Structure 1
């Protein structure tokens, strides 16, 4: 079996993908998945499903959802029917021999970071790209509202952006500057307050002999940050701006900036 939570929730058995059409059941399984191997209490499930306004028979409804989920997982490939275990304090989803895209994503990003640190940029880039392919969209199609699921969705998005930054760094270290210029322009348009993307774009533009454009990117970042947050660009962005103004030779080194 395989569980996929980096996007719409899917369970597969190698031959077919299975999804849940009932939102509450999907949220219940997702809550158990993000705590896989650990106990999720009934109170936590109620909080995820109904926030601060649970129905009178919330506890009974949770029992129904869990019963239906067990049947769903059996049909999806849990032939032993023991993936969800009842404990005195709550419920545990046991992965057993099942694979899980979140675990795969974390392992690939760890591998990528280690390769990057060792200067193995091609291998690092491959790991980051494989990790990014696992993220199929917003967690639960963007419908996660409970505290744990919302926090998890935020974590996934932050990890995805970090992975994107690292992949850009790997390409930059390999001298593939022009490949990332359009990507970074798009990321800045989508995440205008994330200063690291401005920094990366300034560097690759400079290394592509487009110094004037790199300086315009700094002014754009400065304008946005002042208007939105009342702040000046961060220290690393200001240092890079000064280095570009003086054509600092350090900018020609891999991963400088």
Structure 2
């Protein structure tokens, strides 16, 4: 069985005759499963589960209804699926024994990428990052993140995604692929207008693509946005990069600048 949270929730039973979806149809059961997946192997209290699936207007017999939903989920996780929901003290825990979760696969691949990067194997590191990012299918748990647990979990997942993208782009700059990443970085700067790391990477990519004016414009746009929205200046590494671009510092042509600055 394969569980997916890096996009809309999905549950797929793999078989010789093809894959079969076991995704619950009811939204409350989907939320319940998503909460258990967000804390795989950990006990989630009954109170936390009820808070998540009834953000307001909790019915008088909410606890009994919760037990019914859990029983139905258990029935869906039949023998041989590699996943079980266990009662444990004050709550419930989802155990995966043979089933897979895309978040775990993503994290493992990112870990491998960082190890290869630290060892200086840029091509292997980039390959691992690309495999990791291929697990993403859209906004994590789309349509289910209005409760306290899943909203935080989705925010954490998005942060892991952005950090992986930043790291992969850093490697691309070190590999001399500055022209190839310009378009992607333009989109990322638009999508994450206050994310200084993407602006720094775009400035470097512009400069190495013989677009010094665009690199300077990128800095000015970031600075204006930060001043207007937050009343702050860009971080010190961005300011140092700006001065280097103004001076056409030869060090900017070296792949080490992106990692060291």
TM-score by length of 1: 0.94
Instruction: Give the equivalent residue in structure 1 for 2:5.
Output: 5
Q: Once structures 1 and 2 are overlaid, which stretch shifts more, 12-21 or 84-93?
A: 12-21
Matched residue count: 254
Instruction: Give the equivalent residue in structure 2 for 1:101.
Output: 102
How many Å separate the matches in 1 of 2:57 and 2:33? Answer: 20
Q: Is the 8 A contact 2:182 2:206 kept in 1?
A: yes
Change over 3 Å in CA distance of 1:227–1:17 after alignment to 2: farther
Change over 3 Å in CA distance of 1:212–1:239 after alignment to 2: same
Q: Deviations over 1:99-123 (max 9, x none)?
A: 1111111111111111112221111
In the TM superposition, what are the counterparts of 1:148-187 in structure 2 within 5 Å?
148-187=149-188
Q: Is the 8 A contact 2:77 2:83 kept in 1?
A: no
Instruction: Give the equivalent residue in structure 1 for 2:61.
Output: 57
Match of 2:32 among 28, 32, 35: 28
How many Å separate the matches in 1 of 2:191 and 2:98? Answer: 38
Instruction: Give the equivalent residue in structure 1 for 2:73.
Output: 69
How many Å separate the matches in 1 of 2:144 and 2:130? Answer: 26
Q: Deviations over 1:145-175 (max 9, x none)?
A: 2221111100111111111111111111110
1:81 offset after TM fit, Å?
Answer: 8.7
Instruction: Give the equivalent residue in structure 2 for 1:16.
Output: 19
Q: Is the 8 A contact 2:83 2:99 kept in 1?
A: no
TM-score by length of 2: 0.93
1:256 offset after TM fit, Å?
Answer: 0.9
3-state SS of paired residue (1:205): helix
Runs of 4+ in 1 over 4 A off after TM superposition: none
How many Å separate the matches in 1 of 2:69 and 2:59? Answer: 14
Q: Is the 8 A contact 1:169 1:255 kept in 2?
A: no
3-state SS of paired residue (1:141): coil
Change over 3 Å in CA distance of 1:101–1:81 after alignment to 2: closer
3-state SS of paired residue (1:6): coil
Q: Is the 8 A contact 2:7 2:137 kept in 1?
A: yes
Q: Deviations over 1:18-50 (max 9, x none)?
A: 222211000000111111111111111011112
Instruction: Give the equivalent residue in structure 2 for 1:219.
Output: 220
In the TM superposition, what are the counterparts of 1:106-145 in structure 2 within 5 Å?
106-145=107-146
Q: Which runs of 5+ in 2 are unaligned?
A: none
1:52 offset after TM fit, Å?
Answer: 5.4
RMSD over aligned CA atoms reads 1.6
3-state SS of paired residue (1:20): coil
How many Å separate the matches in 2 of 1:164 and 1:97? Answer: 29
How many Å separate the matches in 2 of 1:58 and 1:139? Answer: 27
Q: Does 1:83 find its partner at 2:84?
A: yes
